[in-house]
Amino acid sequence: MKKCYKCGLKGVVYLPQYRIAFCKEHYLEWYSRRVEETIKEFHMFTRESRVLVAVSGGKDSLSLWDVLYRLGYKADGLYIDLGIGEYSERSRIVCERFAQTRGLELHVLSLGEAIATIPEIKRLEKRPPCSFCGQLKRYYMNRFAKEKGYSILATGHNLDDESATLFSNLLAWNMDYLARQFPLLPEGKGFVRRVKPLFKLSEKENALYAFLGGIEYVEEECPFAEGASSIGYKKVLSQLEEESPGTKLRFYMDFLRRLHPLLKAQEVELRHCSICGEPTTGEVCSLCRLRERLSSKTLSSSPSS
Amino acid sequence: MKVRVVYRGQVKELHFEGERVRVMDVLKVMGLSKEYAFVVRGEEILEEREFLRDGEELRVVNAISGGRGYF
Ligand SMILES: [Zn+2]
Ligand SMILES: [Zn+2]
Average pLDDT over residues A180-206: 96
HSE-CB of A199 using CA atoms within 13 angstroms:
27
Which residues lie across from A280 on neighbouring strands? A271
Please give the residue that has the higher pLDDT: either A22 or A301.
Answer: A22
A149 has pLDDT over 80: yes
User: Which residues belong to CATH 3.40.50.620 in chain A?
Assistant: 42-264
CA distance A201 to B17: 37
Q: Chain B residue with minimal CA distance to A203?
A: B63
Q: How far is the CA of A144 from the centre of ligand 2 (A)?
A: 14
Backbone angles phi, psi at A263, to 5 degrees: -95, 145
Q: Which ligand has its closest atom nearest to the C-alpha of A276?
A: 2
Ranges A30-34, A68-72, A123-127, A201-205: which has the least confidence: A123-127
Q: Using 50, 70 and 90 to split pLDDT, how confident is the model at A225?
A: confident
Alpha helices in chain A (DSSP H): 24-41, 59-70, 85-102, 111-114, 118-122, 129-147, 159-171, 175-180, 203-212, 229-243, 247-254, 286-301
Collect all residues of chain B within an 8 Å Cβ-Cβ radius of residue A54: 71
A278: part of which helix (H) or strand (E)?
none
Distance CA(A148)–CA(A156), nearest Å, equals 20
Q: Helices A229-243 and A159-171, interaxial angle, to 10°? A: 110
- Under the banding of pLDDT at 50, 70 and 90, the label for residue A299 is low
Q: Give the pLDDT band (50/70/90) at residue B64.
A: confident
Instruction: Please write the tens of the pLDDT for every residue from A39-80.
Output: 999 999 999 999 999 999 999 999 999 999 999 999 999 999
CA–CA dist B19, B37 (Å, integer)? 23
ipTM of the modeled complex:
0.92
Q: What pTM value is reported for the model? A: 0.94
CA–CA gap between residue A62 and residue A68 (Å, rounded):
10
Q: How far is the CA of A283 from the centre of ligand 2 (A)?
A: 9
CA distance A301 to A281: 31
The average pLDDT across A200-228 equals: 91
For ligand 2, the distance from its centroid to the CA atom of residue A275, given in whole angstroms, is: 5
For A107, counting Cβ atoms within 10 Å of its Cβ (0-12 exposed, 13-18 middle, 19+ buried), the class is middle
Residue B71 — very low, low, confident or very high, per pLDDT cuts 50/70/90?
very low
Confidence of residue A232 (pLDDT cuts 50, 70, 90): confident
The bound ligand whose nearest atom lies closest to the alpha carbon of A281 is 2
Percentage above 70 pLDDT, chain A = 96
Q: Quick one: which of A114, A169, A266 has its CA closest to B70?
A: A169
Interface contact flag, A202 B37, Cβ < 8 Å: no
Res. B70 pLDDT band, cuts 50 70 90? very low
- Give the chain B residue whose CA is nearest to the CA of A129: B69
| Residue A212 burial (CB count, 10 A) | 19
Q: Chain A partners of B61 at a C-beta cutoff of 8 Å?
A: 207, 211, 219
Predicted confidence (pLDDT) at residue A305 exceeds the cutoff of 50:
no
Q: Which residues of A touch B6 (CB under 8 A)?
A: none
Residues A71-130 have pLDDT tens digits of 999 999 999 999 999 999 999 999 999 999 999 999 999 999 999 999 999 999 888 888
CATH of domain A42-264: 3.40.50.620
- Asked if B71 lies within 8 A of A157 by C-beta distance, the reply is yes
Q: What is residue A272's predicted lDDT score, i.e. its pLDDT? A: 95
Alpha carbon of A222: minimum distance to chain B alpha carbons (Å): 8
Identity of the residue in A54, A56, A207 whose CB atom sits nearest the CB atom of B61: A207
Please indicate whether, in this complex, the C-beta atoms of B66 and A242 are within 8 angstroms of each other.
no
pLDDT at A97: 98
Burial label for B30, CB within 10 Å (0-12, 13-18, 19+), is: middle
pLDDT over threshold 80, residue B14: yes
Report yes or no: A245 and A17 within 8 Å, Cβ to Cβ: yes
pLDDT at A173 over 80: yes
pLDDT at B49 over 80: yes
CB-CB under 8 Å, A228 with B67: yes
Handedness of CA A139, A144, A146, A152 (dihedral sign): negative
Above 90 in pLDDT, residue B66? no
Summarize the confidence of residues B23-50 as an average pLDDT: 94
Confidence of residue A171 (pLDDT cuts 50, 70, 90): very high
Return mean pLDDT, chain A: 94
Distance CA A66, CA A211 (A): 12
Domain ranges of chain B: 20-50
Average pLDDT score over residue span A158-172: 95
| Residues linked to residue B13 through DSSP beta bridges, in sequence order | B4
| Run of H or E residues at B25 | helix B23-29
